[in-house]
Amino acid sequence: MGYLGAVVGAGFASGQEIVQFFVTYGMHGVKGCFLAMLLFALCGGLLMYMAHRHQTGSYQDMLHELMGDKFSKIIDLLMAVFLFLGLSMMLSASGAVFYEHLYQPKELGILLATVLVAVFLYTGKKGLIKSYNLLVPAKLVLLLIITGYAALVVDGGQVEAYTGYLSSGEENRWLLSSILYVAYNFALAMVVLTEYQSIGTRKDGIWGAVWGGCLLGVLILFNYLALCKFLPVIMHYQVPMLYVAGIISPGTKVIYTLVLWVGILTTAIANAYGFAQRFSGFTSISYGLSLCITLVLALPISLQSFSALVSKVYPLFGLLGIIILVVLVAKAVKEIVVDILSNIPNR
């Protein structure tokens, strides 16, 4: 639930991420969906393996294990900046949903999300896990029902016609696109997943992350299939999945708006927890007060345009994710091989 909650946020639920990273590549996007599923499952499992092996209960400890003392401080600083900006973006996204789709004041959406983040996270790690166990299953079920119905039942029949819009150069970039998608999502997922190290066994942690990665892949595939049915129309929408939900029925669109907003909220919770925890450790201020300061400081930035914030912050967050992903896989595979070799009896 923690893995799903961190990755399935505003960009995913809106359908915009799936369009940009998978639908754009036509039928090649199917291969990208399965590759993303494999990478999410593999990297999530490797992260939990490392977290239990080295008893790391926070993302700072994990960065220290992966990068060493010097480089981990640099990456930690960048992560803190991106977590804070990510929180501001999610609050801004909440305001955008209220203004554009619920026809309510933008400030109301920002304020409500801020208050709920504070309520869920006031108890720290316990609140983080409880909020995910409460919000993510409801979001997951609704996403699977709506996207699954749109993908398997609703008639669109336009994907073949759209392949003519793609150039051969774009088709050949599906592999890189899929890897980049996993990388930029994994940086935030690491913040949440490492917190689960202390509440379960190594086996449970690894399998939980693997199953979480597989479910992410299923959701990506359903979203891809649903969106492809309405090409090229959905290319003109900022929130293409709301258009698809509206095709099913007006009631479905209202429900999906709620799903989108819960996705925003769970991502905001992950960002706020990660930054408040880091801010508390850096300043020696209590976690509760650090959380309040974090939310207050994020409010002015959240009043900016959501799309403008995304275009500036996400590409840099993706680069950071690639660095973490490459180092994690290399170090985890090396340690697994050493473990295997050390357990082979000498003759």
Residue 104 CB burial class (10 angstroms; 0-12, 13-18, ≥19): middle
pLDDT score for 295: 94
pLDDT of 159 higher than 70: no
Q: For residue 148, give every residue at least 6 positions away whose Cβ sits within 8 Å of its Cβ, in sequence order, or none.
A: 222
pLDDT tens across 33-45, in order? 999 999 999 999 9
More confident residue, 308 or 112: 112
Mean pLDDT within 133-148: 86
Rounded Cα distance, 112 and 120, in Å: 12
User: Could you tell me if 124 and 272 are in contact, meaning their C-beta atoms sit under 8 angstroms apart?
Assistant: no
Domains of the chain and CATH, by start: 2-342 (1.20.1740.10)
Task: DSSP letter for 102, please.
Answer: S
pLDDT of 166 higher than 70: no
pTM: 0.81
Half-sphere exposure (Cβ direction) of 130: Cα atoms closer than 13 Å:
11
User: Could you tell me if 267 and 51 are in contact, meaning their C-beta atoms sit under 8 angstroms apart?
Assistant: no
More confident residue, 223 or 1: 223
pLDDT tens across 272-331, in order? 998 998 898 888 899 899 999 999 999 998 887 665 666 566 667 777 888 888 999 999
User: Could you tell me if 38 and 263 are in contact, meaning their C-beta atoms sit under 8 angstroms apart?
Assistant: no
- Unique residue bearing structure tokens 């090229």: 232
